[in-house]
Structure 1
Amino acid sequence: MSGGASLRMRRLGIDTYQEPVAYMRSDCNVCKSEGFEARSRIELWRAGTCVVATLNVVHFDLLAGDEIGLSEAAWRALGGDDGDAVLVNHPAPLLSFSSVRAKIYGRPLTGDAAGAIISDVSAGRYSDIELAAFITACSGGRLDTAETIALTRAMAGAGQRLHWDSDIVVDKHCVGGLPGNRTTLLVVPIVAACGLIMPKTSSRAITSPAGTADAMETLAPVALGLPDMRRVVEQEGGCIVWGGAVALSPADDLLIRVERPLGLDSDGMLVASVLSKKIAAGSTHVVIDIPVGRTVKVRSADSARALGERLIQVGAALGITVQVVASDGTQPVGRGIGPALEAFDVLAVLQNQADAPDDLRQRALLLAASVLEMGGRAGPGQGMALARETLASGLAWRKFQSICEAQGGMRSPPRSAHTHVLEAQHRGQVVAIDNRLLAQVAKLAGAPTAKAAGLVFHAPLGTTLEVGQPLLTLHAESPGALAYARAFAERQEHLVTIQS
């Protein structure tokens, strides 16, 4: 750091998600003398900590002339208190972006280029606009296998990397898009109870009504740092923690933040995202669930096959064994959609309750069986019997409780204060379900922010319904959210298709 003009920092309480944003008055001396404009990139320094932020210019008296306002993301990154001095500089030129331009014009992404780009992304030097350009350049089949390997290697090497005292460290992942598919909370205790090491890091929801971390958080703390994560795994053999708290493959979180709103579909980016985190977590063997259906992320068997082959090839090139399971994505899994409601399904399966959702149980057993066989705890074809016995005997339930206690203490999921049952309007058989619309209904009810919100689904494919029978029960934490979700659901013709 050299030079720089000084301003007093001020917390504005503005949520810009993970993007650091700064605010200056248009007549601020620093703004004028340095030639800063709206959307300029500026470098902020406080007590040896540097953050690159996007500037927004204020044209009224929100700030004093010697103040710089900070979004929540910028405030967290810099630390300190209101009034502390912040030095403001122009950032160094973003040299790696020339490789992004080259990729846009059709040149291949080399290993050196991928490394430089990901290093700058991880350091926060890319603006959202520049991240969007990089994501676009890599989308639509523009990354071949060699480029995907280069990008995955760069992303895995950009953050911290865990090492475990075992030759075999297992994991599982689902590519997503299927409501209620909360198998991780079952697979981890089954596998850990059988003696394998499974350090599971999971995501929170971004566009879905619940992520694995959201559901687990209704049962135990998930925001563990690396030392606590390591302690839990060494003590219990497994964990289920929020990946955002352990900073493995940090570039991935920044890319996902921009990639999801763009809605761009890229096998190469997906493979790099999934495998970079598994490699950084120290995994050696991974089972990946790919749900296939017309209203999930992967819509055809051909697409699932191509994605699976890419995952296996890239994993092999980077020293990780990958097995792919293509699964049914035509309807939700279990009954609950929303953090607490999905957690109740998990508890029912773990406790071997008679009315536990069998589809969730069977999916989890299938994945656990694959992991047990890959990890050498069961011979070929013997994993299912071991997984079933571990669940039926109560060993998995006891292991899950121990993991929860090690992560900070087990708790009961919350229950919603307001519910409403949506009923079938005519007689017939359920022949189609729109997973995306169901997820949208659950989100409008308040999930995942309101942990008890969402819906319970009562009409899986093949169900014969009479007029007035329940299709789903909405759960909300306020009357307004309940009414909003109900109105939306009642307008959706194809939420659940019933054929007379």
Structure 2
Amino acid sequence: MIDTSELPTSIPSLKLKCVAIDTYKENVAYLHRNCGLYRSEGFQALSKIEIHTANSTQPVIAVLNVVDDASITNIDELGLSEQVYEQLGIPEGSEVFINHATPPESLKSVHKKIAGEKLDYQQYLHIIQDIVNNRYSKIETAAFIVGCAETGMERDEILHLTHAMVDTGERIDWGEDLVCDKHCIGGIPGNRTTMLLVPIIAAHGMLMPKTSSRAITSPAGTADTMEVLANVDLSLRRLHEIVSQQRAFLAWGGTAKLAPADDVLISVERPLSMDSTGQMIASILSKKIAAGATHLLIDIPIGPSAKVHTHMEALKLRKLFEYVGDNMGLHLEVVITDGSQPIGRGIGPVLETQDVMKILGNEPNAPIDLKEKALQLAGRIIEFDPDVRGGQGYAVARDILESGRALTKMNAIINAQGRNNTPIQVGKLQCDICAQDTGIVKAIDNLKIASIARLAGAPMDKGAGIYLHKKVGDKVKKGEVLFTIYAEFNADFTFAKNAALLDNSYQIDKL
């Protein structure tokens, strides 16, 4: 408990007020410009403050915003955004004290990283602890991310960062020796294999509790897409209950406080469109280890417009994954797959969900490429089962899918998590993008097509995105539809349409 008599006697208390603003992963406080403390104590906008209560043992840190509207915060009040108000845990009107925050000592290590120095485990641990404890502003977190991306991370540093991210959050123990997981490094639009793997693996009887992140630079992540069908924000207790019933789930990892620094880092990486190699590996493996995985399959797609361009780059990345995985006690296998074009037809949460359900339902118009890739990956995971001989996994996975057992399991998982009984529809604004020439589709640029889908509003607007009518190798006539853009809002629709008309991402060899 803090001794408030130790606070400077010139600083009076303020009345606490909750300001209904979602500042997403950043603590923000609001002080009126005419408050006596604003000038007398030298507080400035965007400086950090410590918030004390009579019963607190640790102050809460927040970035200060200055307001001129008494309806937001009066001169005798301290307003807090929703996130920091929940952390403080006391009712509105309570007495609070504020003081200048001491800069985190770990910022010195961030400066060293920016200068190109190698950091050790303790330095990474202190940085991650301060990020988790909201001692970093978004600007300071961005400095750490850019420092790691621009100066690079040696393999030991990636291991240190992974350890630090695991050690600053909770860990799940499922009480079994074989707990499966899978992750794709991303970069391929529509590559929604996880939502097919999980019900197949669970129907086989293997344990696959799947926690997933939201999209960083892509038009949809697994959590964004699964949220179309069911609740993904589930407590750790509820996740245990679902696993005991269904042997699997598909949930967002942030709610369970698994490697919580990862969600803060992602919230900054997303607007920067950054996903550096070291932080990507640490992000993936820290979440998997914290989620209790013992056996992990990593999918690295390669292609001209994928994250990894060549087989040689993929081999280097595989070695980094294997080095960190081995040192963290994780059985890890890496598969290198074709990332030369989008997988499936839909790009965006709702459109990708439609692809998944068509495959699970064995519908004749289901995308073959997504189905086959999912079966190949499922087969590899099933071969983690000591009772399945090498090479037999694919046949087992195919039988589970074609028999309808995978669909039955998926519906059971959806019901257990809480089915969304109000289906989300595709965006009401639609535009067909047509071929300018007759010929054969030679290539589709993953980055450009993903960018168009994001401009349309995906993944924030779940009905936004793109539906591909033509894939690589298809014949196309001039004026024939290549893909359709879907959007919810006029501004997004215009941005996406103009980007597609400028460069539709398709390369067509004329006949």
The TM-score with structure 2 as length reference comes to 0.91
Q: Look up the equivalent residue of 1:182 and give its one-letter code.
A: R
Mapped to 2, the partners of 1:141 and 1:306 lie a distance apart of 18
After TM superposition, the structure 1 = structure 2 runs for residues 95-106 of structure 1, keeping only pairs within 5 Å, are 95-106=105-116
Tell me if 1:430 matches 2:437. Answer: no
Mapped to 1, the partners of 2:118 and 2:496 lie a distance apart of 46
Of 463, 472, 486, the residue aligned with 1:475 is 486
Tell me if 1:236 matches 2:246. Answer: yes
Displacement of 1:277 after TM fit? 0.7
After TM superposition, the structure 1 = structure 2 runs for residues 104-143 of structure 1, keeping only pairs within 5 Å, are 104-140=114-150, 142-143=152-153
Mapped to 2, the partners of 1:357 and 1:365 lie a distance apart of 13
Aligned to 2:50: 43
Mapped to 2, the partners of 1:2 and 1:91 lie a distance apart of 17
Change (3 A) 1:324 1:36: same
Mapped to 2, the partners of 1:141 and 1:27 lie a distance apart of 44
Q: Look up the equivalent residue of 1:227 and give its one-letter code.
A: R
CA contact (8 A) 1:170 1:375 kept: no
Q: Look up the equivalent residue of 1:167 and give its one-letter code.
A: D
Displacement of 1:290 after TM fit? 1.3
Tell me if 1:310 matches 2:320. Answer: yes
Change (3 A) 1:486 1:136: closer
Displacement of 1:63 after TM fit? 3.5
Of 459, 464, 479, the residue aligned with 2:475 is 464
Of 30, 34, 54, the residue aligned with 2:63 is 54
Aligned to 1:215: 225
Mapped to 1, the partners of 2:3 and 2:39 lie a distance apart of 19
After TM superposition, the structure 1 = structure 2 runs for residues 398-417 of structure 1, keeping only pairs within 5 Å, are 398-409=408-419, 411=421, 413-416=423-426, 417=428
After TM superposition, the structure 1 = structure 2 runs for residues 72-111 of structure 1, keeping only pairs within 5 Å, are 72-79=82-89, 82-111=92-121
Of 7, 10, 18, the residue aligned with 2:25 is 18
Mapped to 1, the partners of 2:105 and 2:445 lie a distance apart of 45
Displacement of 1:58 after TM fit? 3.4
Mapped to 2, the partners of 1:26 and 1:480 lie a distance apart of 35
Greater Cα shift, 253-262 or 119-128: 253-262
Q: Percent identity?
A: 45
Change (3 A) 1:192 1:50: farther
After TM superposition, the structure 1 = structure 2 runs for residues 271-420 of structure 1, keeping only pairs within 5 Å, are 271-409=281-419, 411=421, 413-416=423-426, 417-420=428-431
Q: Look up the equivalent residue of 1:8 and give its one-letter code.
A: K
Greater Cα shift, 139-148 or 266-275: 139-148
Q: Look up the equivalent residue of 1:397 and give its one-letter code.
A: L
Q: Look up the equivalent residue of 1:39 and give its one-letter code.
A: L
CA contact (8 A) 2:163 2:286 kept: yes
Change (3 A) 1:481 1:100: closer
Mapped to 2, the partners of 1:263 and 1:2 lie a distance apart of 44
Tell me if 1:163 matches 2:185. Answer: no
Mapped to 2, the partners of 1:478 and 1:119 lie a distance apart of 39
Deviation sequence 1:219-268 (CA, Å, 0-9, x none): 11111011011111121111100112111000111122223434445322
Tell me if 1:442 matches 2:453. Answer: yes
- Listed as ranges, the gaps of 5+ residues in structure 1 are none
Aligned to 1:8: 15
Tell me if 1:489 matches 2:477. Answer: no
Mapped to 2, the partners of 1:113 and 1:17 lie a distance apart of 26
SS in 1 for 2:500: helix
Mapped to 1, the partners of 2:69 and 2:226 lie a distance apart of 44
Displacement of 1:214 after TM fit? 1.3
Change (3 A) 1:114 1:485: closer
Mapped to 2, the partners of 1:429 and 1:85 lie a distance apart of 70
Greater Cα shift, 405-414 or 149-158: 405-414
CA RMSD of aligned residues (A): 2.3
Change (3 A) 1:195 1:50: farther
Mapped to 2, the partners of 1:105 and 1:441 lie a distance apart of 36
Greater Cα shift, 296-305 or 119-128: 296-305
Q: Look up the equivalent residue of 1:390 and give its one-letter code.
A: I
Displacement of 1:427 after TM fit? 0.9
CA contact (8 A) 2:217 2:274 kept: no
Mapped to 2, the partners of 1:52 and 1:33 lie a distance apart of 20
Q: Look up the equivalent residue of 1:57 and give its one-letter code.
A: V
Tell me if 1:200 matches 2:210. Answer: yes
CA contact (8 A) 2:116 2:151 kept: no
SS in 2 for 1:354: coil
Mapped to 2, the partners of 1:245 and 1:237 lie a distance apart of 19
Count of aligned pairs between the two proteins: 499
Of 23, 30, 33, the residue aligned with 2:40 is 33
Greater Cα shift, 81-90 or 217-226: 81-90
CA contact (8 A) 1:224 1:245 kept: yes
CA contact (8 A) 2:50 2:62 kept: yes
Deviation sequence 1:415-452 (CA, Å, 0-9, x none): 23343322222211111212222222223333223222
The TM-score with structure 1 as length reference comes to 0.93
Change (3 A) 1:210 1:258: same
CA contact (8 A) 2:14 2:76 kept: yes
CA contact (8 A) 1:196 1:377 kept: no
Displacement of 1:386 after TM fit? 0.9
Displacement of 1:455 after TM fit? 1.7
SS in 2 for 1:171: strand
Greater Cα shift, 164-173 or 325-334: 325-334
Of 133, 139, 154, the residue aligned with 1:144 is 154
Q: Look up the equivalent residue of 2:13 and give its one-letter code.
A: S
Displacement of 1:117 after TM fit? 2.0
Mapped to 2, the partners of 1:403 and 1:232 lie a distance apart of 8
CA contact (8 A) 2:178 2:295 kept: yes
CA contact (8 A) 1:285 1:375 kept: no
Mapped to 1, the partners of 2:204 and 2:387 lie a distance apart of 7
